[in-house]
């Protein structure tokens, strides 16, 4: 088995011995291990010596059976970006905070490796958002990656007054959302930014998008769940000539005469889970879902 490993460059001091033990375990079990250059260099510096690996690669220039993300959900999102359309399954080992995507504990890494080598896991396909823009196009502005696994957020600029986001489902106008902006979320992203503004939690494999207004000016504006077979188009009115767009936190500024188009991407992100683990288990462990305080 060949595993490509990605990670955040700043790991906590208490996690470093566990990460070192994970690399030693992979080496002992005969796993062919390749590591992204940035992570490898940072890890070698923090550990005082290079971890036992078989190869080092640059950026997204790799091939593997499985990709492993060592970090939090932000690291998982970056890993999904590097994997791109390769559709290499990703397992997330959490060294961050809450960890909805990076759901495995670093302390359980031995069990995770055993499951991977025994084939005792299942793969879940997660949809992405593909974003396009009129004029110069969004793809160039975000360095070749115009996709989001969690959400696309259309936002007002800094301390500017509220924006109006005129939103269409295919050619049917849904609403003009007046406020701080609008989140277009995947089911995966429903527990991220979407959840913080009162959007619904959605089963990760559901074929839908969620539209959630941010601080809406009208109380009648509520989150809306739509089929992901549609294309969503949005134009923005603002007192300033630009607005902000983020794709999984990667921000750019666009002029208000640019129209955004959002649709389901032609490829998916494959997420690995240990058998027996369900979405409800993740909600219970991360959000104390269904636990009564009485």
23: pLDDT strictly greater than 90 = yes
Is position 73 annotated as part of the catalytic site?
Answer: yes
Select from 128, 72, 121 the least CA-distant residue to 95: 72
Residue 288 has pLDDT above 70, yes or no: yes
The pLDDT score that the predictor gives to residue 138 is 58
Choose the catalytic residue: 15, 73, 180, 248: 73
Please state the rounded mean pLDDT for residues 146-170: 93
**Which of these, 100, 105, 102, 259, lies nearest to 193 by C-alpha position?**
100
Task: Name the band, by pLDDT with cuts 50, 70 and 90, for residue 133.
Answer: confident
Rounded-to-integer distance, Cα 165 and Cα 180, Å: 9
| Span 10-26, average pLDDT | 94
pLDDT of residue 54: 98
Reply yes or no on whether the pLDDT at 201 is more than 70. yes
CB 211 within 8 A of CB 174: yes
Tell whether the model's pLDDT for residue 13 goes beyond 60.
yes
- pLDDT band at 143; cut points 50, 70, 90: low
Is residue 269 within 8 A of residue 189, CB to CB? The reply is: no
Mean pLDDT of 69-79: 95
CA 153, 205, 101, 38 torsion-angle sign: negative
Evaluate if residue 282 carries a pLDDT over 90. no
What confidence tens digit (pLDDT) does each residue in 117-128 have?
Answer: 999 999 999 999
Residue 293 has pLDDT above 90, yes or no: no
Do strands 232-237 and 242-247 pair parallel, antiparallel, or not at all (unpaired)?
A: unpaired
Lowest mean pLDDT of 68-72, 136-140, 149-153, 230-234, name the range: 136-140
Going by the DSSP 8-state scheme, the letter that residue 256 receives in this structure is T
Q: What is the pTM of this model?
A: 0.92
Q: At 3, give phi and psi (nearest 5°).
A: -120, 130
Question: CA 136, CA 128: separation in Å to the nearest integer?
Answer: 22
The pLDDT of residue 109:
93
Is 138 within 8 Å of 212 (Cβ atoms)?
A: no
pLDDT tens digits, 236-264 = 999 999 999 999 999 989 999 899 999 99
């Amino acid at each position: 088995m060949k595993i490509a490993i990605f990670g955040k460059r700043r790991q906590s001091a208490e996690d470093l011995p566990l990460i070192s033990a994970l690399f030693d375990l992979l080496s002992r079990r005969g796993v062919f291990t390749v590591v992204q250059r940035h992570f490898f260099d940072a890890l070698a510096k923090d550990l005082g010596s290079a971890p036992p690996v078989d190869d080092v690669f640059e950026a997204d220039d790799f091939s593997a059976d499985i990709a492993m993300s060592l970090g939090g959900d932000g690291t998982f999102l970056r890993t999904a970006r590097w994997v791109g359309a390769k559709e290499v399954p990703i397992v997330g080992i959490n060294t961050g905070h809450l960890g909805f995507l990076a759901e495995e504990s670093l302390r359980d890494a031995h069990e995770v490796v055993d499951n991977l080598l025994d084939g005792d896991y299942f793969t879940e396909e997660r949809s992405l958002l593909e974003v396009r823009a009129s004029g110069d196009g969004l793809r160039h502005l975000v360095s070749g990656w115009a996709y989001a696994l969690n959400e696309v957020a259309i936002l007002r600029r800094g301390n500017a007054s509220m924006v109006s986001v005129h939103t269409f489902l295919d050619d049917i106008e849904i609403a003009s959302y007046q406020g701080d902006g609008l989140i277009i979320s995947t089911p995966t992203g429903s527990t991220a930014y979407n959840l913080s503004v009162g959007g619904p939690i959605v089963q990760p494999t559901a074929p839908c998008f969620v539209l959630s207004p941010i601080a809406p000016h009208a109380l009648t504006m509520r989150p809306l769940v739509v089929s992901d077979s549609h294309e969503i188009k949005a134009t923005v009115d603002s007192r300033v000539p630009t607005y902000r767009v983020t794709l999984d936190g990667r921000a750019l500024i666009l002029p208000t005469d640019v129209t955004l188009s959002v649709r389901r991407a032609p490829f998916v992100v494959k997420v690995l889970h240990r058998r027996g683990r369900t979405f409800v288990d993740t909600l219970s462990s991360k959000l104390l879902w269904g636990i009564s305080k009485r």
